[in-house]
């Protein structure tokens, strides 16, 4: 197969694909050039940066494209339904980065609880604000998970090991067979949780799951963590809640637009931010590469 890798992949996986006789081209294409480029490849491998829409598929089917692989959990940067209607298969790597994203979410929880981010910033500016940063312990607190897929379950295990109570909700109302955790409707979860962490894909209507009304249900002492998709939380509503002291803080790895230009949110003293690095660990990248190789070899 002739394979296009647009957003990077582990060197070991690329070497393995080439050893298996495939031709691999590593190149990013701007949206306006992507469709024509796809005509020249049997398979394209993307991460988060490249978005493959219906217009790209219309051009790609003039060539030989038959497989799209998303190196990661979600596939909301690909018009999956349209691709499949054109005979193009879409695959992802749902297991590879679950632990890495869960650990980042947990890291952000510690950063919020103990003022780690803002302490770094103020100390680098020559300030010693010891008395201003009285934190809280995570143990004994309630973690509410919106979504209970692979990543959420990895986070739940770690949180429970740290002495947290774990509750969860699912957008479809489905209760999982997880008796060690408690299912709650969304409104009740928001009202009772000390930490709320999102683990859901972008809704089909692309409307935020948490807007002003939902954020208003949370405790003023609560923290919000989003390592899922930027659009599931309304950034303007979040900023308003933080400014009005209706939330103690928030942690964001994902944003409505990426790279984000929301300086007010990123520079907010109550916010811990990272540039969409949930799956950016050596271990996850290796597993993603292995899964991609497996998908291509079995296609």
Q: In whole angstroms, what is the distance from residue 133 CA to residue 161 CA?
A: 25
Q: In whole angstroms, what is the distance from residue 172 CA to residue 112 CA?
A: 30
Q: In whole angstroms, what is the distance from residue 82 CA to residue 84 CA?
A: 5
114 part of the active site: no
Catalytic-role residue among 40, 137, 244, 258: 258
Catalytic-role residue among 268, 276, 287, 291: 276
171 part of the active site: no
DSSP per position, 133-183? -----STTPEEEEE--SHHHHHHHHHHHHTT-EEEEE-TT-PPPS-TTSEE
32 part of the active site: no
Catalytic-role residue among 70, 229, 268, 287: 229
What Cα–Cα distance (Å) separates residue 150 from each residue in 46, 99, 153, 170, 233? Answer: 21, 9, 5, 13, 20
CB-neighbour burial class of residue 259 (10 A; exposed 0-12, middle 13-18, buried 19+): exposed
Beta carbons of 255 and 235 less than 8 angstroms apart: yes
- Active-site residue numbers? 229, 258, 276
């Amino acid at each position: 197969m002739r394979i296009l890798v647009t957003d990077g992949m582990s060197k070991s996986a690329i070497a393995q694909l080439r050893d298996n006789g495939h031709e691999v081209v590593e190149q990013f294409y701007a949206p306006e050039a992507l469709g024509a480029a796809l005509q020249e490849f049997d398979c394209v491998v993307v991460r988060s940066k490249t978005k493959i829409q219906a217009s790209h598929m219309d051009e790609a089917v003039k060539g030989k494209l038959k497989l799209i692989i998303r190196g990661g959990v979600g596939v909301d940067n690909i018009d999956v339904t349209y691709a499949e209607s054109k005979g193009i298969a879409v695959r992802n790597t749902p297991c590879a980065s679950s632990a890495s994203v869960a650990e980042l979410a947990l890291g952000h929880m510690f950063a919020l609880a103990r003022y780690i981010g803002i302490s770094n910033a103020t100390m680098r500016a020559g300030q010693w604000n010891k008395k201003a940063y009285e934190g809280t312990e995570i143990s004994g607190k309630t973690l509410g998970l919106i979504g209970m897929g692979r990543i959420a379950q990895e986070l739940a295990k770690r949180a429970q090991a740290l002495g947290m109570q774990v509750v969860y909700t699912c957008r479809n109302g489905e209760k999982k067979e997880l008796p060690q955790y408690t299912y709650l409707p969304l409104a009740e979860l928001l009202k009772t949780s000390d930490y709320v962490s999102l683990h859901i894909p972008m809704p089909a209507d692309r409307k935020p799951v948490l807007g002003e009304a939902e954020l208003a249900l949370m405790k003023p002492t609560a923290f919000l963590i989003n390592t899922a998709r930027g659009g599931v939380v309304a950034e303007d509503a979040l900023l308003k809640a933080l400014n009005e002291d209706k939330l103690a803080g928030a942690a964001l790895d994902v944003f409505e637009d990426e790279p984000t230009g929301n300086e007010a949110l990123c520079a907010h003293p109550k916010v811990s931010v990272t540039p969409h690095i949930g799956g950016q660990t050596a271990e996850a990248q290796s597993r993603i590469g292995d899964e991609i190789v497996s998908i291509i070899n079995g296609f």
